[in-house]
Amino acid sequence: MKATMHDPESCLTKGAKTHAKLRRHAAAEFARLGYHNTKVSDIVKAAGVSQPTFYCYFESKEMAYEDLMTEFRSRFEALTRTLLIEGGIPTSQMLDRVALSFQKIFDFLAEDPELTQIGFFQPPGCSITKANLANWIARNIANEQQAGLFRRDIAALQLAQCVVGMLDQMARLPADAQKRKDLSFDCAHMLCEGIWLGAKKG
């Protein structure tokens, strides 16, 4: 028998498939037009369904948007929790471990460009996502500071906000898997070693 690629929607009920289709096309339309310019009529036209069908699954455009944001942020927070660096890691492995954390986030943001566009780059959702992300990362950094991995004279939230700024800018660059890996090491070097040559001489 010829092998076929697994379709994640193949095992869903008809209603679940319609819901997934609406969510997928809603994300695409929000990304294409922006939240404020997107209408329910744009979403149903792209999805090939009627407006009554849309309202069977979502009360409004706003609810469809919030559904997408909730899923995106939930997955993002779950990923961030896995990035905590445990105390006792050898110093020689620290840079690689920080780079891996950056890479996992870059890869996550590259998985679904349209959802990332509305959840991480476009208003109104991006501001909340980035504020949440700073808090999630700060939670990790505070634990890592307690474990003696990072300096404690800079607040964890301040460090986390710097990391979010790096992610925001670097994730905008067109990048394949190798480029994302290279960017991850660049970010890790800047975060862990800084850019002042005098620091190494002193």
Q: What secondary structure does DSSP assign to 23-44, as a single string?
A: HHHHHHHHHHH-TTT--HHHHH
Taking Cα atoms as reference points, which of 31, 175, 191 lies closest to residue 100? 191
Kindly provide the b/e burial profile for residues 121-139, where b requires at least 16 CB atoms within 10 angstroms of the residue's own CB: bbeebbeebbeebbbbbbb
> Can you give the pLDDT at residue 147?
95
Q: Is residue 6 part of a domain?
A: no
pLDDT, one tens digit per residue, over 123-146 is 999 999 999 999 999 999 999 999
> Can you give the pLDDT at residue 13?
86
Q: What is the DSSP letter of 84?
A: P
Residues 89 and 139 in one domain: yes
Distance CA 34, CA 22 (A): 16
> Do 21 and 49 meet the contact criterion of CB atoms below 8 Å apart?
yes
Domain of residue 70, CATH code: 1.10.357
The count of residues in the chain is: 202
Retrieve residue 97's tokens: 């471990």
pLDDT, one tens digit per residue, over 52-68 is 999 999 999 999 999 99
Mean pLDDT along residues 25-31: 98
Q: Is residue 23 part of a domain?
A: yes
Residue with tokens 């660096």: 85
The alpha carbon torsion through 137, 140, 143, 144 (nearest 10 deg) reads -90
pTM: 0.89
Domains of the chain: total: 2
Range scoring the smallest mean pLDDT among 3-12, 37-46, 126-135, 181-190: 3-12
Residues 75 and 43 in one domain: no
> Do 180 and 107 meet the contact criterion of CB atoms below 8 Å apart?
yes
> Do 89 and 95 meet the contact criterion of CB atoms below 8 Å apart?
no
Could you list the residue range(s) of the whole structural domain that residue 168 is in? 65-193
